[in-house]
């Protein structure tokens, strides 16, 4: 098994959180997604990251990779076993991607004016979700799950993209620090992401 990933892409980071939470002993190779090596292009028609190779199997969608790793390495389980709860978790991840990660992508790829608008909207949406973060130790769950793996890279990047949370959003800060303190999350950080650590101090409450 081998994982090709970007050292700064949040979607690669999602997969690495799962990877290290599971304690997977296999190779991770960091690549430049703007200039992928030929072997990645041969494996993945899009040449993007993350790309997972497991014998004859090649996967290159982060959500599919996350679920595959959870099933391939069942302990500790990160997805509910019950079908309704599993579907609800999948919908949460989908909404996080649509409502929050879409704005992260816009902030990172847009100019100042458009980026500022997306930054303001992301901040407002997160603040509106404060009661959700306050309701359980993890995101709508008593246990750490794939939903938290999907959300963690966004939390880590908030300060880098200039999204500062007010005091009334302390529940989000507490949640983020709980995730950041996990050994699996700490091990998931690339050198590039480690440099964001100083910027993420504004999330310490």
Q: 172 Cβ partners below 8 Å, 6+ apart? A: 126, 127, 129, 130, 133, 155, 165, 203
- Residue of 100, 93, 152 lying closest to 121 (CA atoms): 100
Q: Measure the CA–CA gap between 143 and 134, rounded to whole angstroms.
A: 14
- Note whether 96 and 88 are within 8 A (CB): no
Residues annotated as part of the active site: 9
Q: Measure the CA–CA gap between 126 and 148, rounded to whole angstroms.
A: 15
**Backbone CA torsion sign across 99, 92, 14, 67:** negative
Dig out the tokens for 198 from the structure. Answer: 């100083």
At 54, is the secondary structure helix, strand, or coil? strand
């Amino acid at each position: 098994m081998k994982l090709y990933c970007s050292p700064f892409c949040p979607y690669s980071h999602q997969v690495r959180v799962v990877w290290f939470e599971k304690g997977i002993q296999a190779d991770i190779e960091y690549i430049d997604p703007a200039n992928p090596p030929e072997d990645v292009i041969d494996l993945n028609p899009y040449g993007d990251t993350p790309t997972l190779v497991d014998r004859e199997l090649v996967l290159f969608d982060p959500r599919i990779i996350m679920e595959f790793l959870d099933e391939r390495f069942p302990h500790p389980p990160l997805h509910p076993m019950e079908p309704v709860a599993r579907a609800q978790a999948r919908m949460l991840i989908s909404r996080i991607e649509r409502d929050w990660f879409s704005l992260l992508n816009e902030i990172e790829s847009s100019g100042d004016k458009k980026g500022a608008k997306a930054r303001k909207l992301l901040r407002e949406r997160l603040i509106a979700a404060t009661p959700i973060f306050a309701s359980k130790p993890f995101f709508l769950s008593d246990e750490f799950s794939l939903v938290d793996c999907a959300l963690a890279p966004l939390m880590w990047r908030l300060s880098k993209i200039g999204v500062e949370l007010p005091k009334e959003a302390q529940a989000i800060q507490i949640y983020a620090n709980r995730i950041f303190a996990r050994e699996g999350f700490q091990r998931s950080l690339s050198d590039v992401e480690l440099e964001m650590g100083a910027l993420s101090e504004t999330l310490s409450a």
